[in-house]
Chains A and B, each alone.
Chain A
């Protein structure tokens, strides 16, 4: 914890953050820009992520598509989602790298009841601190993009860290470094927005009249942004939310909880209460069970070591 406190934190789940020490330079917001129009879906980012983060994703089976693994898992923090988009006589193969969007207003962090399990640095990166995670799954509910996955082995939540351990030493995230076509760019958010602007001009010149930047306001903007050929239809890209926002339920519990000191409540009590406000009465339906299995992805195959 002492190490963590030495970092510039902007937000910390279920706790307040002391103001930054005087004299420290202000941090600049960072961002990863994913230019879908330059993405060839080669999955270099996926292997770079697996390798750098030492993730042990089990080898699965093919389901007859190029999506492999078929979904995010506790050990696959990014996956390519391939969509065949047919219109008139034309075909487009839209390939979106899915993973944490690092929302400026992170729903996961706001929903998280465990102190310090989710932090947001002043540069905008949202990081999961496993040591503090209680595996409750609220981050999953709080995420407008359906990103975090709970490991059945460790009972903790996992997602992309934007390679905070690389960024801290001045290196680009593993995926951005690897990306062969520089479809993934990394730098300050300002630079990334400017770069996106140039890409959009190029795309419009090639006939993509609705090309644009995906940096949705509903979550305060994101620190992972997309250049989309069809900004008017985000959902074309394997269900990218058209207007993502934090679930109102997260807002409710935040409002209720705010005056209380979390540390003062017995953990079990807090958990029951939180479960009630976010999910309703404490009964588990078959659908919930299925959903839980789905959320943990191919984890059921066993040995994830995240």
Chain B
């Protein structure tokens, strides 16, 4: 949901403590934009509403993205700040949220599927196809070998306990539900998330 510039100005003004825009010593937003000492950084950015990725307060954030102007350039996140509309955080952010641009653009973001062979001292870049085909094969091998259809008492238990899945607690509900479906249908019991640890 991109927000227009006009809405944005309205929203951000609400973040000011009871002051009207004109009272701040500059003449007004429109004129101010033209007259600012430093150009306002977000003038040409696209604004998208999101939720902070860190803790479970669920602060609303505004993600500003832009391209560097080059043809066919990929848009990048250039700034993140609180969403003043959100009643939970009212536009505020903590030191993590206020710096979350650095997470989106961290040099330590993973970029490509990587593979480390047994005994190797390095990761090697591989294709998604290679990685997913191999993972599916390894998983099936282990499952077919160690699946327990019935326990000692002859009760149907249909479980697979030699492989585990630790689920992400910053994945969306939709991803979580799909993960539940995909993983439970294999019979995995060792399915956990960050909740206990």
Chain A contact residues, CB within 8 Å of chain B: 3-4, 6-8, 24-25, 27-30, 42-44, 46-48, 50-52, 121-125, 127, 129, 161, 164-172, 174, 177-180, 182, 185-188, 191-192, 195
Contacts and interface: CB of A to CB of B under 8 A. Distances in A.
Given A27-B26, A121-B25, A178 B35 contact: no
A28 B101 CA distance: 34
B17 A171 contact: no
B35 A170 contact: no
Contacts of B91: 177
A195 B19 CA distance: 12
Interface residues of B, number: 43
Given A6-B35, A129-B37, A165-B36, A170 B81 contact: no
21 contacts: A27-B25, A44-B97, A47-B98, A48-B98, A121-B26, A164-B37, A164-B38, A167-B24, A167-B25, A167-B26, A169-B29, A169-B33, A170-B29, A170-B32, A178-B93, A178-B98, A180-B93, A180-B94, A182-B92, A187-B16, A188-B24
A68 to B, nearest CB: 11
A43 B27 CA distance: 32
Interface stretch (B7-15, B150-158, B165-173): B7-15
A46 B95 CA distance: 7
Given A51-B99, A187-B19, A188-B24, A170 B13 contact: yes
Which of A46, A47, A174, A185 counts the most B-chain CB atoms under 10 A from its CB? A47
B79 interface: yes
Contact of A51 (B12, B32, B34, B98): B98
A55 to B, nearest CB: 12
B37 A177 contact: no
Nearest to A43: B95
B41 interface: yes
Contacts of A195: 17
B81 A48 contact: yes
Nearest to A189: B25
Contacts of A187: 16-19
A7 B26 CA distance: 8
B142 to A, nearest CB: 42
B92 A177 contact: yes
A177 B24 CA distance: 15
B21 interface: yes
Contact of A124 (B21, B25, B28, B93): B25
A44 B98 contact: yes
A7 B92 CA distance: 29
Contacts of B37: 3-4, 7, 127, 129, 161, 164-165, 168
